[in-house]
C-alpha cells in the first residue's frame, strides 16, 4: 500500500512539473517556433478514426475514406498516421491550433513534447522549446521527485531522453528504452496551443 501511495504522489508531482513546464516554457514559444511540430514534417500524428474524422472533416464511412486516403495519411492496425503535410487545424500564419480547447484536438497533441509513463518522464527533443529548456525541466523534476536517472534512447539518442526517479537517493535501474519510449522517433503527435 505504501508503494501504491508513493507512486500516486510521485505521479502527481511529475504531472505538476510537466504541466508547469508546458505553461512556462513550451506554450509561450509555440507562436515563434522556427520548426513547428504541427507542420508534421518530423513528427507523426497518431490518430483514432474518430480523431481523423474530426480533424480532416471526413463525412464518408471509414471504408470509403480508407479507399482514397490522402497521401499524407497512412492507415495501419486501425490507426491513422498523418505526416508530410501540415495538420489541417494548423493556422500557419498565426502558428496556432484552430481546434485548441475543443473535442476535435487529438489527445496525443496535448502530451507533446513531454510524456509521463509510470515513474518515467520522456522528453521529445524534436521540440525546440524542450531542447532549450531541458536543464530547467531536469531541475524541476529533481526538486519534485528526488534524484533522477537520465537515459538517452538507444536508437534515437538525439530525440528522446527519459528521466526516472532513482530509488534510495541514487541512480538505479530504469525501464528499458523499449518499454519507456516510443519505438520510432515519429510515433508521437505534436502539441500546440
Ligand atoms: S495541436 Fe494537434 S490538432 Fe492542433 S494544429 Fe497541432 S497537430 Fe493539429
Ligand atoms: S510544441 Fe515545441 S515544436 Fe511544437 S510548435 Fe511548440 S515549441 Fe515548436
Read off the pTM: 0.81
Residues 57-108 have pLDDT tens digits of 999 999 999 999 999 999 999 999 999 999 999 999 999 999 999 999 998 8
**Segments making up each domain of the chain, as ranges:** 2-180
106 lines ligand 1 (CB under 6 A): yes
Alpha helices in the chain (DSSP H): 2-21, 49-55, 62-67, 128-132, 134-145, 177-180
Q: How far apart are CA 144 and CA 30, in angstroms?
A: 26
Q: Which atom of ligand 1 lies closest to the CA of 105?
A: 3
Q: How far apart are CA 79 and CA 87, in angstroms?
A: 16
Q: Which atom of ligand 1 lies closest to the CA of 55?
A: 3
Amino acid at each position: 500500500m505504501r508503494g501504491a501511495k508513493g507512486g500516486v504522489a510521485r505521479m502527481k508531482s511529475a504531472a505538476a512539473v510537466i504541466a508547469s513546464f508546458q505553461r512556462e516554457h513550451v506554450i509561450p514559444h509555440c507562436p515563434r517556433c522556427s520548426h513547428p511540430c504541427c507542420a508534421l514534417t518530423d513528427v507523426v500524428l497518431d490518430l483514432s478514426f474518430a480523431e481523423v474524422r474530426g480533424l480532416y472533416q471526413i463525412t464518408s464511412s471509414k471504408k470509403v475514406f480508407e479507399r482514397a486516403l490522402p497521401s499524407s495519411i497512412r492507415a495501419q492496425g486501425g490507426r491513422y498516421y498523418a505526416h508530410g503535410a501540415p495538420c489541417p487545424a494548423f493556422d500557419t500564419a498565426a502558428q496556432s491550433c484552430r481546434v485548441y480547447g475543443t473535442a476535435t484536438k487529438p489527445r496525443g497533441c496535448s502530451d507533446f513534447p513531454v510524456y509521463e509513463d509510470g515513474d518515467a518522464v520522456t522528453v521529445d527533443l524534436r521540440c525546440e522549446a524542450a531542447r532549450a529548456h531541458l536543464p530547467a525541466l531536469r531541475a524541476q523534476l529533481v526538486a519534485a521527485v528526488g534524484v533522477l536517472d537520465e537515459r538517452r534512447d538507444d536508437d534515437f539518442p538525439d530525440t528522446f531522453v527519459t528521466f526516472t526517479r532513482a530509488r534510495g537517493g541514487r541512480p538505479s535501474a530504469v525501464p528499458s528504452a523499449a518499454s519507456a519510449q516510443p519505438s520510432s522517433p515519429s510515433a508521437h503527435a505534436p502539441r500546440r496551443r
